[in-house]
Amino acid sequence: MPDTVSKKQLLLMSVAAGVSVANNYYCQPILKDMANSLHVNDAKAGSISMLTQIGYGLGLFFLVPLGDKVNAKKLIFILLCLLTLSALAMSFATTIELVWALSICIGMFAVSAQVLLPMAAGFDPLNRGKNVGFVFSGLLVGILAARVFSGFVADWLGWRYVYRISSLLVFITALMLRSYLPEVKKRFEGHYLQLLQSTLYQARRFKVLREAALTGALVFGTFCSFWTILTFHLSGPPFNYSSNTIGLYGLLAIAGALLAPYIGKFTDRGDKVKALVFSIIITIVSIVLMKFMPHSAFSFIAGVLLLDVGIQIMQITNLARIYALDDQSHSRINTMYMTVYFIGAAVGTSAGLICWRLGGWSLVTWQMLTWCAIALSITLTGSKDKPVNSPAAAG
């Protein structure tokens, strides 16, 4: 693998990560629109978001490890083409059952972003945090801009056009990556079953990886729970916001997402455990603010900004830690981390829906604070592993 990567290539990887992962989040501001169109209740519509995250988890475990075994450039192109077809099919779906099935497919094929992240980590070990932060900024902007984009398009053209436009964007991105994405060397020579076994082995091998995956899952589960339920909370009294207005909350967080490369530079030099503790505290403050001022637009503006910064610091710091464990196993290590991470997203989304139904916004925020408290305790009591870079140890 080359030691360096051009800024233009990193920019393309960043855009591709955002365009890909955005498909997981287009549904969140338009769940009410989808529910009305498909004639189903909020709970059934809310499952669309959960199933997309489950699909992402499946893709992470069964598809992303192939980034160490096959031509990663070709793998990314195939995944993006399949994502194009899934998004296009979603735009014509007329039953909730078909929407559920396509939600899983969209989640599975959107994992190309998780092949791009470890690729960026391997180009320049001395600037690993900076490079990962740059690509992650694109991923995070994609997550946040997805809500703005889908809310705006749904208001003007209807929710189906969200997926039609997305399918075109994904396909254009696939063609650009095929032309300009750098080639990388394979790191694993065994067969597919051995690859999956080696992937599982990484979790047993590194305690830091286990701790990072669990804390990441808890905090990202909080993040997904918040954004899913925010749609229902802001669409009801006293706000009564439209899908377009709800989507605009994503703009607030996009500004914070642009800080990701600078956060990455900081993690290359700073105390990572302290950074993790700081990130969780910021997240807790954001939730407390929105919990005790549930009818204040200001509390949600400030809360979204703080929540976004907290999530960024947590994610980039964790990625910098785990990619330093073994340069020969980046995709497999990333798979174990991200699989648990997005299982946390699915559980957090599901828990948020249950809490919303049983106790409204108050119970939802108590649930989010609980996840953060557990993550903080794990971080404070956790221990570090020393990096291992021996190819022989790669499993």
Chain centroid to Cα 133, Å, comes to: 13
What amino acid occupies position 251? L
Asked, for residue 150, whether it belongs to a domain, the answer is yes
Quote the tokens at residue 90: 């979603």
In percent, the amount of the chain with pLDDT more than 70 equals: 89
Asked, for residue 212, whether it belongs to a domain, the answer is yes
Rg value, the chain, Cα: 20
Whole-number Å distance between alpha carbons of 239 and 296? 9
Whole-number Å distance between alpha carbons of 191 and 372? 39
Q: What pLDDT, on a 0 to 100 scale, did the predictor assign at position 134?
A: 80
Q: What pLDDT, on a 0 to 100 scale, did the predictor assign at position 389?
A: 47
SS (H, E, C) 285-338: HHHHHHHHCCCCHHHHHHHHHHHHHHHHHHHHHHHHHHHCCCCCCHHHHHHHHH
Q: Which has the minimum average pLDDT: 42-51, 238-247, 371-380?
A: 238-247
Contact in structure between 22 and 119 (CB atoms under 8 Å): no
What amino acid occupies position 12? L
Whole-number Å distance between alpha carbons of 245 and 235? 9
Asked, for residue 289, whether it belongs to a domain, the answer is yes
- The boundaries of the domain holding residue 303 are 7-383
In percent, the amount of the chain with pLDDT more than 90 equals: 41
Query: pTM above the 0.85 mark?
Result: no
Q: 382 pLDDT exceeds 70?
A: yes
Q: Note the helical H segments in the chain.
A: 7-21, 31-38, 42-62, 72-90, 96-109, 112-123, 128-157, 159-180, 192-205, 207-235, 243-257, 260-269, 272-292, 297-323, 330-381
Asked, for residue 394, whether it belongs to a domain, the answer is no
Asked, for residue 216, whether it belongs to a domain, the answer is yes
Asked, for residue 393, whether it belongs to a domain, the answer is no
Of the candidates 313, 240, 244, the residue with the CA atom closest to the CA atom of residue 272: 313
**Mean pLDDT to the nearest integer, 210-227:** 92
Contact in structure between 216 and 337 (CB atoms under 8 Å): yes
Q: What is the pLDDT of residues 61-115, one digit of tens each?
A: 899 999 888 888 899 999 999 999 999 999 999 999 999 999 999 999 999 989 9
Q: What pLDDT, on a 0 to 100 scale, did the predictor assign at position 139?
A: 86
H or E segment and range at residue 85: helix 72-90
Q: For residue 377, name the pLDDT band (cuts at 50, 70, 90).
A: very high
Q: Which has the minimum average pLDDT: 23-27, 219-223, 237-241?
A: 237-241
Task: Please confirm whether the linkage preceding 238 is cis (ω < 30° from 0).
Answer: yes
Residue 358 belongs to domain with CATH number: 1.20.1250.20
Contact in structure between 195 and 336 (CB atoms under 8 Å): no
Of residues 385 and 266, more confidence is placed in: 266
Whole-number Å distance between alpha carbons of 204 and 311? 26
Q: Which has the minimum average pLDDT: 126-135, 144-153, 295-304?
A: 126-135
Asked, for residue 395, whether it belongs to a domain, the answer is no
Asked, for residue 390, whether it belongs to a domain, the answer is no
**Mean pLDDT to the nearest integer, 157-186:** 92
Q: What is the pLDDT of residues 20-75, one digit of tens each?
A: 999 998 998 888 889 999 998 878 888 898 899 889 889 988 999 998 888 888 99
**Computed from CA positions of residues 49, 290, 32, 359, in that sequence, does the dihedral angle turn out positive or negative?**
positive
Q: What pLDDT, on a 0 to 100 scale, did the predictor assign at position 38?
A: 92
DSSP type of residue 49? H
Q: Which residue has the tokens 């403050």?
A: 285
**Number of separate domains in the chain:** 1
Contact in structure between 155 and 244 (CB atoms under 8 Å): yes
Of residues 167 and 245, more confidence is placed in: 167
DSSP type of residue 67? G
Most trustworthy range by pLDDT among 12-16, 266-270, 331-335, 344-348: 12-16
Task: Please tell me the total number of residues recorded for the chain in this structure.
Answer: 395
Q: What pLDDT, on a 0 to 100 scale, did the predictor assign at position 393?
A: 39
Q: Please provide residue 384's backbone torsions phi and psi, each rounded to the nearest 5 degrees.
A: -105, 150
Of the candidates 75, 59, 76, the residue with the CA atom closest to the CA atom of residue 16: 76
